[in-house]
């Protein structure tokens, strides 16, 4: 089953503790530091559109891109309920297309780790460079190899709410650097019966050094790598590495 097909129904419920405000505050600090007053921002891997909606409330034109049709359907429904006009596009981030350039592109919540091939990451970064305004900013994060090895590893996680529950069985192949997690969802239907569905998710662990190389090859200038959306530098025990890069006004792709 496609990743995030059933999870889309309960994603916001299980992700309610996600620090979206912290992530947005980090992005805003860096926009201020480089005197960027964004008119248009693009969210790669936007999911149900939580961050798009929060930024749209500030009067920023938002574009959300995701490869999950189900997640985008939820995002569109949320935008309609909020009276927001957000453009959501069903696209693969490694080959995305925009109608023009944007001031900032960000990708939060380890979306980059879902790119399982190195050429997909490089392609994503090249398209980011292509669609950024001169001097535009690219901010994104990755789950670190340390997190996969020491925190997720071969463990099982579970969570339950009033209307849904999940069991997450994690497996990390250190040789291949591939993290697989099998998630069984139990979602209550209108009749009160819990329906079980199963999804398989795969992520790739990337070393910070390798991401640096991809950014350089894509023509993006790396400003810094930080520990989980803080001002502290990335270190060997960081669970999430946050990258800040900018466009170098290189020649664009056609």
Q: Do 152 and 137 share a domain, yes or no?
A: no
Q: Do 197 and 104 share a domain, yes or no?
A: no
Residue 254 binned pLDDT confidence (cut-offs 50, 70, 90): very low
- Conformation bin of residue 67: beta by default, left when phi > 0, alpha when psi is -120 to 50: alpha
Share of the chain above pLDDT 70, in %: 91
Asked whether 216 and 113 are in contact (CB, 8 A), the reply is no
Q: Do 83 and 199 share a domain, yes or no?
A: no
Query: Could you read off the pLDDT of 196-222 as tens digits, one per residue?
Result: 888 899 999 999 999 999 999 999 999
Which residues span the domain enclosing 170?
A: 147-204
CATH of the domain at 185: 2.20.25.110
Q: Do 110 and 184 share a domain, yes or no?
A: no
Within a domain: 2: no
Within a domain: 254: no
Provide the domain count of the chain: 2
Query: Could you read off the pLDDT of 68-94 as tens digits, one per residue?
Result: 998 999 999 999 999 999 999 999 999
The alpha carbon of residue 29 and the mean position of all alpha carbons in its chain are separated, in whole angstroms, by: 19
Going by DSSP bridges, is the β-strand pair 178-188/164-173 parallel, antiparallel, or unpaired?
antiparallel
Within a domain: 20: yes
The SS3 assignment for 88 reads strand
Within a domain: 12: yes
Tokens of 128: 């980011």
Q: How far apart are CA 211 and CA 219, in angstroms?
A: 13
Q: Do 96 and 212 share a domain, yes or no?
A: yes
């Amino acid at each position: 089953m496609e990743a995030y097909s059933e999870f889309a129904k309960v994603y916001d419920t299980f992700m309610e503790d996600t620090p979206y405000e912290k992530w947005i505050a980090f992005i805003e600090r860096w926009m201020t530091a480089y005197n960027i007053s964004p008119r248009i921002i693009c969210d790669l891997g936007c999911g149900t559109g939580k961050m798009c909606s929060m930024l749209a409330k500030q009067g920023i034109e938002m574009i959300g891109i995701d490869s999950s049709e189900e997640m985008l359907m939820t995002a569109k429904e949320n935008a309609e309920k909020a009276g927001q006009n957000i453009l959501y596009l069903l696209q693969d981030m490694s080959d995305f297309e925009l109608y023009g350039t944007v001031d900032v592109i960000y990708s939060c919540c380890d979306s980059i780790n879902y790119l399982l091939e190195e050429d997909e990451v490089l392609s994503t970064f090249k398209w980011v460079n292509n669609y950024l305004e001169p001097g535009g900013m690219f901010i994104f994060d990755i789950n670190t190899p340390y997190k996969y090895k020491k925190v997720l590893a071969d463990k099982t996680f579970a969570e339950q709410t009033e209307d849904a529950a999940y069991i997450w069985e994690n497996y990390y192949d250190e040789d291949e650097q591939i993290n697989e997690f099998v998630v069984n969802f139990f979602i209550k239907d209108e009749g009160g019966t819990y329906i079980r569905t199963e999804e398989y998710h795969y992520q790739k662990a990337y070393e910070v050094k390798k991401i640096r190389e991809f950014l350089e090859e894509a023509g993006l200038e790396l400003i810094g790598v930080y520990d989980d959306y803080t001002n502290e530098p990335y270190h060997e025990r960081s669970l999430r590495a946050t990258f800040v890069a900018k466009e170098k006004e290189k020649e664009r792709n056609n």
